[in-house]
């Protein structure tokens, strides 16, 4: 009987040790894993922001609220890249020569075969050419998978929520707002439920979005991330 009592007592002691360990290490382990997942989600949101910025530049200052369109743009569209050779001297600038005028002089000479004006302005080594390079080869590193843009890291196939809204500034100028986000429940799934609840409760009390996002549909913020 005494032996059984000692075994039970030992098990209780082990249980208490485990409870104490879990109460201390649980939040630490949660925070460490959250930090890892946060970093992956933030990196993906930054990639989306880059893609949307270039999309906007090529589509009349409008973002897209559709990942299919954004991914096709990254895969197939191109961006202009200006090759520059030679710079205008202070003397040329003082004489009224501008980049635009210099380009026009050189282009005219190419078409007519007459280089008198090129020589007059000293533009023999001045060259400006526009080349078109694929978005995926310009904005993103080699081997980047555009199809991954829509998916939330650690989200088990879940996609980011992406929306746009057109608005008008006080000056009357139209502008487009973008918001891309994902809640904690999506990318922190599988972690301690109570810790996630505590995190959401804190963010709610602070009046912040319970998750990670870029941009805002109510306020223009240059697509800043809510972690920045």
Whether residues 83 and 131 fall in one domain = yes
Q: Last residue of some domain: 137, 154, 188?
A: 137
Domain of residue 132, residue span: 78-137
Does residue 217 share a domain with residue 150?
A: yes
Which of 115, 129, 121 is CA-nearest to residue 97? 121
Q: Is residue 28 in some structural domain?
A: no
| Residue 88 maps to a domain | yes
Is 30 part of a structural domain of the chain?
no
Report the distance separating Cα 122 and Cα 148, nearest Å.
50
> Residues 184-212: pLDDT tens digits?
999 999 999 999 999 999 999 999 999 99
Query: What is the 3-state secondary structure of 82-120?
Result: EEEECCCCHHHHHCCCCHHHHHHHHHHHHHHCCCHHHHH
d(CA 100, CA 109): 14
* Sign of the four-CA dihedral 48, 188, 30, 145: negative
* CB count in 10 Å sphere of residue 196: 19
Predicted pLDDT of residue 21: 46
Number of domains in the chain: 2
Kindly report the pTM of this predicted structure.
Answer: 0.77
pLDDT tens-digit readout, 74-107: 999 888 877 888 898 988 898 899 989 988 998 8
Each of the 228 residues of the chain gets a pLDDT tens digit; together they read: 556 555 555 555 555 544 554 555 568 999 999 999 999 999 999 999 999 999 999 999 999 999 999 999 999 988 887 788 889 898 889 889 998 998 899 889 889 999 999 898 899 888 888 878 888 888 898 889 999 999 999 999 999 999 999 988 888 888 999 999 999 999 999 999 999 999 999 999 999 999 999 999 999 999 999 999
Please identify, among 137, 153, 171, the residue that sits at the C-terminal boundary of a domain.
137
Return d(Cα 45, Cα 214) in angstroms, integer. 7
């Amino acid at each position: 009987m005494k032996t059984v009592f000692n075994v039970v007592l030992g098990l209780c002691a082990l249980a208490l040790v485990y409870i104490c360990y879990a109460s201390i290490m649980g939040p630490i382990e949660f925070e460490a894993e959250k930090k890892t997942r946060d970093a992956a989600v933030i990196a993906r949101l930054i990639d989306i922001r880059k893609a949307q910025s270039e999309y906007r530049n090529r589509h009349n200052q409008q973002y897209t609220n559709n990942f299919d369109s954004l991914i096709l743009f990254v895969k197939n569209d191109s961006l202009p890249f200006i090759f520059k050779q030679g710079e205008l001297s202070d003397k040329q600038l003082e004489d009224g020569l501008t980049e635009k005028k210099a380009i026009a002089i050189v282009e005219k000479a190419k078409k007519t075969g007459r280089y008198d004006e090129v020589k007059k302005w000293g533009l023999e080594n001045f060259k400006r050419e526009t080349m078109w390079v694929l978005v995926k080869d310009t904005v993103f590193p080699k081997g980047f998978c555009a199809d991954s843009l829509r998916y939330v890291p650690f989200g088990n196939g879940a996609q980011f929520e992406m929306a746009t809204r057109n608005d008008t500034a006080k000056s009357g100028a139209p502008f487009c707002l973008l918001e891309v986000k994902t809640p904690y429940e999506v990318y922190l799934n599988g972690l301690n439920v109570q810790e996630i609840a505590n995190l959401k409760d804190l963010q709610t009390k602070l009046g912040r979005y319970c998750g990670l996002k870029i941009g805002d549909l109510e306020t223009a913020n240059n697509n800043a991330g809510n972690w920045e």
